[in-house]
């Protein structure tokens, strides 16, 4: 039986970003340096395949520092942690390695600077997300107000001093949603201070731009990524808003809903920033098993960013 023809558009950039690559290497280097087990507070990145691979090498993933013994190294995840966590690790004289993405650390530094200058900070982000918890935990309670949308901005109480306000954002938001909320803050508080460059990271921005470029060419979009990955979920939303009739999040090829793809002739594939290229190849192979596939790359940017690992791992 002849397989149906299918055009597969691969979005680029896709998959691992520099911050994720660095975080994974940090765990691997820690295991090489100190042996197993090495404890990791929270999933190092939001991808089960990656986490399971590190677990097989000797990483033990926990949610809180109190689950870690004093005599084994602990790695803090790429999403960042509240200041109280490294402080407690230091009190316990633990070996602690910070895998916080440098672009998240940049947000922490900005917020700390604004706080030192007496400003109240509005953090644009999603309540409960681990990155937001870490960012808000950089400052004392009450110093930061979380806002998620222009509607949240409209509902904010009048601040004590309109001249002493600033904003920052979660790094993995929808670029368009973040821009709308920033515009709402600036419209209501014209004197509000913001970052010198927007906080939504380069990788999030680039992957969303690639999806927007692919969307007009396709009938369906597959986003390879975990259901707890903010940047992956945003790619699904961006695809739908860009006109893609069907967009699905799929952690693995085995999670693809093939019935939903019946009759389509053009499909886009991308991957969230914590999904390795191995999973992209797995999805392409799954399509080739079912279709006569022609692959075309749609590249909107090239990335050459690389972040150094902490010095403690290099000495």
**Kind plus residue range of the DSSP H or E element containing 213:** helix 202-214
CB 25 within 8 A of CB 75: no
Of the candidates 85, 107, 87, 100, which has an alpha carbon nearest to the alpha carbon of residue 22? 100
CB 217 within 8 A of CB 268: yes
Whether 292 is catalytic = no
Residue 299 CB: number of other CB atoms within 10 A?
13
Of 28, 131, 158, 299, the catalytic one is 131
For 101-219, strand residue ranges (E) read 120-124, 144-147, 165-169
Query: Residue 152 to residues 124, 141, 172: CA-CA distances in angstroms?
Result: 10, 19, 19
CB 77 within 8 A of CB 99: yes
Q: Which tokens go with 108?
A: 């922490």
Distant-in-sequence, close-in-space partners of 5: CB < 8 Å, separation ≥ 6? 265, 291, 292, 294
CA 93, CA 76: separation in Å to the nearest integer?
Answer: 15
CB 176 within 8 A of CB 132: no
The residues annotated with a catalytic role in the active site are 131
């Amino acid at each position: 039986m002849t397989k149906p023809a299918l055009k597969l558009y691969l979005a680029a950039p896709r998959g691992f970003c520099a911050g994720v690559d660095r975080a994974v290497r940090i765990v691997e280097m820690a295991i090489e340096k100190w042996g197993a087990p090495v404890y990791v507070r929270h999933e190092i990145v939001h991808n089960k395949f990656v986490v399971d691979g590190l677990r097989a090498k000797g990483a033990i993933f926990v949610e809180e520092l109190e689950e870690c013994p004093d005599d084994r190294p602990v790695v803090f995840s790429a999403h960042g942690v509240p200041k109280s966590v490294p402080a407690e690790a230091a009190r316990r004289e633990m070996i602690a390695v910070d895998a916080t993405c440098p672009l998240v650390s940049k947000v922490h530094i900005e917020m700390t600077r604004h706080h030192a200058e007496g400003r109240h900070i509005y953090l644009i982000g999603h309540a409960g997300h681990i990155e937001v918890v870490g960012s808000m935990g950089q400052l004392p309670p009450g110093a930061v107000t979380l806002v998620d949308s222009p509607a949240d901005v409209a509902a904010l109480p009048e601040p004590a001093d309109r001249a002493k306000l600033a904003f920052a954002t979660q790094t993995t938001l929808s670029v368009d949603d973040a821009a709308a909320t920033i515009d709402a803050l600036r419209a209501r508080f014209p004197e509000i201070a913001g970052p010198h460059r927007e906080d939504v990271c380069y990788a999030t921005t680039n992957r969303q731009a690639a999806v927007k470029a692919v969307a007009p060419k396709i009938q369906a979009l597959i986003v390879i990524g975990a259901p707890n990955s903010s940047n992956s979920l945003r790619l699904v939303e961006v695809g739908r808003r860009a006109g893609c009739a069907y967009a699905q999040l799929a952690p693995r090829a085995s999670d693809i809903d093939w019935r939903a793809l019946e009759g389509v002739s053009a499909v886009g594939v991308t991957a969230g920033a914590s999904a390795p290229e191995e999973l992209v190849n797995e999805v392409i192979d799954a399509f080739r098993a079912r279709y006569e596939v022609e692959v075309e790359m749609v590249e909107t940017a090239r990335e050459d960013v690389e972040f150094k690992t902490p010095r403690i791992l290099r000495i």
